[in-house]
Structure 1
């Protein structure tokens, strides 16, 4: 049986425990994206050695390749990936959004992406799309999403929803939200048919940037017997608007359930979310940064290594060519204990794949250290002071 309990609260920020068949997740926690059953550039042993508590994989991608039945025949995702700790699978809802509209960043900024859109249509029944692998036609329904996630075997799973884009009307947002609520009911009914107690289901809050719709969505989620709740949908076009929407939404949600914030991974955003009572976060940000040659660093290192107000340094920069120091001198990750900025700079320039493995390792360790520091700060009622070490 999967359980959640809050062990310490300071303001709205809180420390909690999510007990799963594959171990306990101590919250606030960060969930790393192993989208296609792999975290790009590193294996699960290295990920675990970085003190990672939980990772997630994607229903949409795994249904297309290798297929949920194949994963089930091979013992489920945990055995398939050689990952013994907790896992989450998302529902495929975000992929419905990106298939039809592009990424969130593209959509908000109005960037034209010529990548072929494979979404055919969204109906009450589900989403019809073509496989980006072989062009085959698929229908993803709420029931199908749950069936796939149950076969994959993650500890925490999510209802199917439509993630509405920012540049749509209120009318579309309202109609979509209510359809997502109906999909959530169908997801829950399907989940309960084969509920073995080894998985727990999260509902998703929609409503876009509209407070009355967010209230309606929160009231719906609160009225349903979900284990946890995830804040989804468009969070606006700026950090300020995102913070306002998250603050408003968390104030309307049940407090006895774990609350997840979908797709958010910036350091400043995490602190803000924690202060509002968010328990878990997920984002490709730390690992994607690494694949662009950028390493996450704390404030004291950031100020001396970069003239820009960013949370990372770009190791491709020429200034690191003869730099014999590790990415961070006080970091105990494998990369920092064994390699210099100069070496990683060389690997990047030489286009050696090892560079991405080393930086990804550091960024994962960095994020886990951040979350550990946040948990200790909540315990000691020093969260505002701890924030200064990271932002």
Structure 2
């Protein structure tokens, strides 16, 4: 299938891994890869503005089909000119299909299940899975909703993001291989229906990603990779359960990415830890998305390079907690090597005060820093790939 106004080019492949430099061209601009996609879940970056995102170096953001179909509704967004105009973002955008939220919320959690951590904190909302699609209760008002592959594509068409994703069942960690296989094959059928609906309304302003499922099972991942390779998707998105540990996730991602058509961009859904990104790039992943950088910011978590984590005795984490009492009288910025607006103007002591006082500025300031950190990380890794010094560069971050 042709995708006018879209293309992907690989500029360089590392000599010692599958890491690669590239560019994704979209109607709203170019995304340099590897890159990180920030989550504007409900058409807003929590704690930030589109202007801030641009000023701190962001190239692409993501919004959520599931949440936006419920509030304010895809038709309203379309009437308002689409997501770009609606929220004031003029760069590339991606929307997911809604499947992750339906099934992860339905199974009683969100990211925990996908990343192998079991949780039952949220009430289950999924009512029924069938060949037609998914029936679920809205978390807003409890009303019954049905989302099919066709409707997911129609909603994403109304939302108007550049890059969109097929509808799939996102299987949780605890299901067995037989369920995973049945689910994966149904997702393939849904993927074909998504592709057919996309082709019916294709106008050259969007490009469609296929999703690879299969859980932790190599033969299923291979089957799913072959499915997406064989059909006319613009890009690949690796989804589903990636295992119960970081090492298993590394194995699953590496094994899956190695079997995907190299001329297409590869996205890793819902993963955004620094070490996970560094490992993912080695395995050929081009883009990542996750709520992690902005979510921890709202709770006082500031992302910092390795040397600062070591200094404060938290090498097992990738951030420092500005709420900690040790920062109460600290006159230093979060990171003296950081060029973000927050580090240029605010001290750790001031941010600590804002957090204790529950001032909204705290969320904005630390979110700004974390956004800058992630963009700085990705820029440095791209530069290191270009200059053949990737493994030396990661020592500063990981």
TM-score calculated relative to the size of structure 2: 0.96
How far residue 97 of structure 1 moved from its aligned partner, in angstroms, is 1.8
Q: C-alpha distance in 2, partners of 1:262/1:86?
A: 17
How far residue 4 of structure 1 moved from its aligned partner, in angstroms, is 0.5
Which residues of 2 match residues 1-391 of structure 1 at below 5 A? 1-11=5-15, 12-101=18-107, 102-105=109-112, 108-113=116-121, 115-391=122-398
How far residue 251 of structure 1 moved from its aligned partner, in angstroms, is 1.1
Task: Look up the SS of the partner of 1:388 in the other structure.
Answer: helix
RMSD of aligned Cα (Å): 1.0
Per-residue CA distance 1:247-273 (angstroms, 9 max, x = gap): 110111100000000111111110100
Q: C-alpha distance in 2, partners of 1:116/1:209?
A: 26
- Asked if structure 2 preserves the Cα contact closer than 8 Å seen for 1:306 and 1:313, the reply is no
Q: C-alpha distance in 2, partners of 1:240/1:220?
A: 26
Q: C-alpha distance in 1, partners of 2:386/2:159?
A: 35
Q: C-alpha distance in 2, partners of 1:234/1:126?
A: 20
How far residue 330 of structure 1 moved from its aligned partner, in angstroms, is 1.2
Structure 1's 16 and 321: CA in aligned 2 closer, same or farther, altered over 3 A? same
Per-residue CA distance 1:69-91 (angstroms, 9 max, x = gap): 00000000000000000000000
Per-residue CA distance 1:183-232 (angstroms, 9 max, x = gap): 00000000001111111000000000111101100010000010000000
Q: C-alpha distance in 1, partners of 2:12/2:174?
A: 40
Q: C-alpha distance in 1, partners of 2:171/2:74?
A: 26
Q: C-alpha distance in 2, partners of 1:127/1:97?
A: 9
- Asked if structure 2 preserves the Cα contact closer than 8 Å seen for 1:104 and 1:165, the reply is no
Task: Look up the SS of the partner of 2:32 in the other structure.
Answer: strand
How far residue 308 of structure 1 moved from its aligned partner, in angstroms, is 4.3
Structure 1's 356 and 306: CA in aligned 2 closer, same or farther, altered over 3 A? farther
How far residue 289 of structure 1 moved from its aligned partner, in angstroms, is 0.9
Q: C-alpha distance in 1, partners of 2:99/2:117?
A: 21
- Asked if structure 2 preserves the Cα contact closer than 8 Å seen for 1:142 and 1:184, the reply is yes
Q: C-alpha distance in 1, partners of 2:117/2:153?
A: 33
Task: In structure 1, list runs of 5 or more residues that go unmatched.
Answer: none
Q: C-alpha distance in 2, partners of 1:160/1:106?
A: 18
TM-score calculated relative to the size of structure 1: 0.98
Structure 1's 333 and 228: CA in aligned 2 closer, same or farther, altered over 3 A? same
- Asked if structure 1 preserves the Cα contact closer than 8 Å seen for 2:322 and 2:352, the reply is yes
- Asked if structure 1 preserves the Cα contact closer than 8 Å seen for 2:28 and 2:90, the reply is yes
Q: C-alpha distance in 1, partners of 2:315/2:165?
A: 38
- Asked if structure 1 preserves the Cα contact closer than 8 Å seen for 2:113 and 2:241, the reply is no
Task: In structure 2, list runs of 5 or more residues that go unmatched.
Answer: none
How far residue 112 of structure 1 moved from its aligned partner, in angstroms, is 2.8
Q: C-alpha distance in 1, partners of 2:313/2:360?
A: 25
Q: C-alpha distance in 2, partners of 1:104/1:194?
A: 32
How far residue 307 of structure 1 moved from its aligned partner, in angstroms, is 4.0
